[in-house]
Structures are given as C-alpha cells and as structure tokens.
Structure 1
Amino acid sequence: MVSQKEVLLGAALFLLTLISHSEGIIGGREAAPHSRPYMASIQRPDGDHFKHECGGFVIADQWVMTAVHCMANGPHGRKVVLGVHSLSEAEETKQTFDILEHNLFNHPDFSPSNFDNDIALIKLDRPFNASEAVKTVQFLRTGGVNPTTDDEVETAGWGSINNLESRPDKLKEVVVKIVRPTRCARDDYFDKTFTRNMMCAHKKCSEPCDQPFPVEDSCDGDSGGPLLFNGVAVGITSKGGKKCGQLKKPGVYTVISHYTEWIDGIMNAQPAAEGEQGS
C-alpha cells in the first residue's frame, strides 16, 4: 500500500516537473533568435565567468536604459552584452562592453524602499556595431500615449521561469495586460508603495490553464528590461520580484515618459565618443 508520504512526494515531484518546463518568463515562450535586437544582458562577475543579473535595452548609439536597483551601488565589474540570444553559447553577434563608474547614471531620486524613480542610463565604453542583432528601440517621450487598463504590452528577459530561481539560457518573451492603477494601489496589492511613476501588468492564464501559476508575469532577473506598447518602450521592468506569477502582485514597471527631461539632460551633457567602434 502506498504511504501518504510517498503520495505527497510524488505530487511534489509532479509539480516540480510542471514548473521546470514552463516555457516563458512566467508563462510566455522563447523569443525568435535576435528578434528583439535592442535587448541587453547586464552581467556580474562570477568567479572566472560572468552571470546574467539584469536586463536593459539600447535606446541610442552607445546608450542603454535599465533599472537603478540593478546597480544602485555602482557597476562593480559588471558588463553589458548586446546581440545575445543564448547566454551560454558562443554567438558571433555578441558585443561586450565595460560599465565605467562615470558612465553609469542612476536617477538621483531613486527610492530603495519602494523602487520609485527606478530608471538608469549606461553610456557604453564605446559605440556598438549596429547589425540585425543589435539595434535601438524607440522609447516614449513626454506627451506620448501610454497604454491603459487591459491594453496588451510585451516584455522579455532572461529572468526566472519559476519561484525556484530557475533561469533560462535563451531569451524569453511574454504578452501581458496593463492592470488598472487604482487596483495596484489597493492595500491588498502594493498599497502606498505604488506611485504615479509606475504601471503594473500581468495576464491571467487562460482556461484551461496548463501552467502551475495563475498569471503570466515578469520575474527576478528580468529587471531593467523594456515593457513595449506597439513596438515602443513605455516602461522598465522594476519589480519583477522574487515571488512571481501571483494574482495580487503583478509586475511593476517604471513609466519612461515621466523622465524625458532627465534622460535628455544626461545624454546631451556627454561628449561624443572617439575611436573605433566596438566588436
């Protein structure tokens, strides 16, 4: 006769199998290789190698946008890698750049307590070589139209595919929907930590749901990546979170259009790069 302990162990292993084969960020799917050529992988030193830590996206020649909380205390040897699909495979499309201390610009009003103003700019140590695998994406400026409740938006990254910190090797993408801001500001969602500089989004899993989570969502490691509406970056993944795929904890994104003056001020104040392009 099968014991209760054996039944519980079997159920746990079955759930683990379901989680481990989730196809996306939380849900979603693998992106077509280099179909999102603006994506950047921000990687930290890990022994003799580098490990993906956060996302980012290319907004201009030599400029990458990301989230402050990815590097709130400085670069500390991190690098930006463009032209990535697989983190582990050798790809001729990859271009790697140093993050110099004086080329990292964190928003001065970033709040560690609730991640308000979670936007940062990185000036690469040299211009990138534009290709089919490395291109800029347009970002929404002041006066542009942001998505509203139930609008479909897209995000992508190499973040966790479950709450066991399992990370994908290849870029994942997911379509989610904007959640009403007043809902995200409710006390059973994010309460007063949710500000006007944020938008939140996820997508309830359609019935019958064939994944172990009730919603599709961004997750830990997707931070710094873009939220796109009609092909334009409107948000920065801020609180993908370490507890993902929860109905009352949708992903939180920084509203880019609120920062046009700050972005222009940083980028226009920097001298043009000299020397050869990166490879």
Structure 2
Amino acid sequence: MASERERLVATAVFLASLITQSEGIIGGREAAPHSRPYMASIQAPEGQNLKHECGGFVVAQQWVMTAAHCLPTGPNGRRVVLGVHSLSEPEDTKQTFDIVEHHNHPHFSPSNYENDIALIKLDRPFNVSEAVQAVAFLRAGGTNPGTGAEVDTAGWGSLDNLGSRPDKLKEVAVEVFSSARCKRGDYFGRKFTDNMICAHKVCSDPCDQPHKKEDSCDGDSGGPLLYNHVVVGITSNGGKKCGQLKKPGIYTIVSHYTEWIHSIMGLQPTAAPGQRPSG
C-alpha cells in the first residue's frame, strides 16, 4: 500500500501536470548564444531562486508576448528574464524584470487552449543590446505559412517525455502540418480551431533517431513560431506526450489577434503586416 508521502507526491505531480501542459523542444540543436535576442524566460519563485517555467518573446519596449495558459491566475511573483542563453550560468547580458501588467486574452479557453495568447508589461524599458531586442510579428492582412512551409521555434523546454530540461536555449525547424488533418478525430478533432497552426517534422537520416518526430514539448509554451524571421505563432500545446506522429505541436496564430494586441499595447491599428512595433 502506498505511504502517505507517496500519495502526496503523486497528487503534487498530477496538479503540476494540469498547470504545466506546455511545450518544449525535442530534437533540434543548441542555438548560438544570443542569436535569438527576443527570447524571454518567464520564471517562477522556487525558494530563494527562480525557475524557468515558460517562454515568451519581446515585441516592443516593455512588452513580452506569451501564452495565456502560462499565467492562468496572474504573475504570482513570476519575473521575466531577457538576454538569456544559459539558465544557470551568470551572464552579463541578463536583464530581470518584474511584471506590472498581465493581460490574458479575455476569451482564452483552458479546455482546448483557444485564444492562447497573453501580453506582459515589464516594470521598465529594457536596455537594447546584441542580446536583447524586439522581434517583428505578423499583423492582420499578412500571409501565414501554408502546409509544408518550414518554420522554426526555440526554448528551454523538455528534451524528452521524462521531463529532462536543457540549461541552454535550443532551437528546431519544423514544418506546418495540414490543418484539415489536425481537425480529424484521430488527431485533435474539435479541439483544433481556425486560430491554430499545427507543425512538426518527422526526422530521417542523419537524425539521431530516424523516423522520430522533432517537436515542441513541456516548458516552451509562450515561445515564438517564426516564418522568415517574423513571428507567426505562439507555442501553445499538443499531445500528452511529445513527438507523437498524430499529435503535432499546436501554435496560436498571432495575426488573428492584431486588434486586441494593438489595444493592449496602445499601438496604431494601421501598422503594416510584420512591421516591428515601435511602442
């Protein structure tokens, strides 16, 4: 019979899994240090330290975009770290911020991750450097990548389904998968909506594990999906296990939320698609 301590541990693990059904990188490679200066690490308090919990990306001075499910009940002491390559090593490039505003999309649905987008306002402007810069994101009227297009994503998420986490930023190139297939019952069914992109890549030689799928996994939610160096999606969710052939990673289509993004950030709605925001 399980001891009381074992039952408590099992309960804690189950509750954590409900909160952190997020995405990360399986396959891929370590990114060149600070080659993606827009990347953000959203970190939660753990004792006297901070622990990486979700990704995000800088879209304007003081503004970081991420997934709504990363902060379901608000910041709760979380901080945002920019200029990160190694989570554990001291780096002169790192800048750490408190969160002064947090905006989850008002129609975010935890049941299927519909409208999984959020904006975070930092407590002060960041110092622009080689390691910290904003990235362009696609606006309404822009063209999203079609089936088969190569896109890429990055993060500090799990390397496997056992939860092994990298210390340094990883990146992976994946391919946009057919939305029609992702809507099929043997894929995601009704969970998959027109506000989502699904993407993965089936490895073949010379991959380390031929015919295994490169994918996002636990810990990278909120990170960017890029097409031609412009953010088109936000890493949202996928299957209960990463790398499943019929459970590609799901990403929120950023351009579908242009009006909401502009209203929160106070930007003019006439900005050209893909233009880097100036606010």
Distance 1:173 1:88 in 2: 18
Distance 2:213 2:54 in 1: 22
What's the CA shift string for 1:24-81, capped at 9, x where partnerless?
9211000000000000000001111100000000000110000000001111000000
Per the TM alignment, residue 208 of structure 1 is displaced from its structure 2 partner at its CA by 5.6
CA separation of 1:211 and 1:121: change in aligned 2, threshold 3 A = same
The aligned residue for residue 80 of structure 1 is 80
Per the TM alignment, residue 242 of structure 1 is displaced from its structure 2 partner at its CA by 4.8
Structure 2: gaps of 5 or more residues:
1-23, 268-279
SS of residue paired to 2:85: coil
TM-score relative to the length of structure 2:
0.85
Per the TM alignment, residue 99 of structure 1 is displaced from its structure 2 partner at its CA by 1.4
Q: Equivalent pairs: percent with the same residue?
A: 73
Q: Specify which of 79, 85, 102 is matched with residue 104 of structure 1.
A: 102
Establish whether residue 44 from structure 1 lines up as the match of residue 40 from structure 2.
no
Distance 1:260 1:185 in 2: 24
Query: What amino acid is the match of 1:49?
Result: N
Structure-to-structure mapping, 1:114-263, within 5 angstroms: 114-207=112-205, 209-211=207-209, 214-240=212-238, 242-263=240-261
Per the TM alignment, residue 214 of structure 1 is displaced from its structure 2 partner at its CA by 1.5
The aligned residue for residue 266 of structure 1 is 264
Maintained 8 Å contact 2:238/2:247: no
Query: What amino acid is the match of 1:221?
Result: G
Per the TM alignment, residue 210 of structure 1 is displaced from its structure 2 partner at its CA by 2.2
Query: What amino acid is the match of 1:77?
Result: G
Query: What amino acid is the match of 1:238?
Result: S
TM-score relative to the length of structure 1:
0.85
Per the TM alignment, residue 240 of structure 1 is displaced from its structure 2 partner at its CA by 5.0
SS of residue paired to 1:183: helix
CA separation of 1:61 and 1:204: change in aligned 2, threshold 3 A = same
Maintained 8 Å contact 1:213/1:245: no
CA separation of 1:259 and 1:155: change in aligned 2, threshold 3 A = same
The aligned residue for residue 17 of structure 2 is none
Structure 1: gaps of 5 or more residues:
1-23, 270-279
Which of the pair has more CA radius of gyration?
A: 1
Distance 2:114 2:55 in 1: 18
* CA-based RMSD: 1.4
Maintained 8 Å contact 1:234/1:255: yes
SS of residue paired to 2:255: helix
Q: How many residues align?
A: 244
Maintained 8 Å contact 2:161/2:242: yes
SS of residue paired to 1:52: strand
Q: Which stretch shows the higher mean deviation, 234-243 or 88-97?
A: 234-243
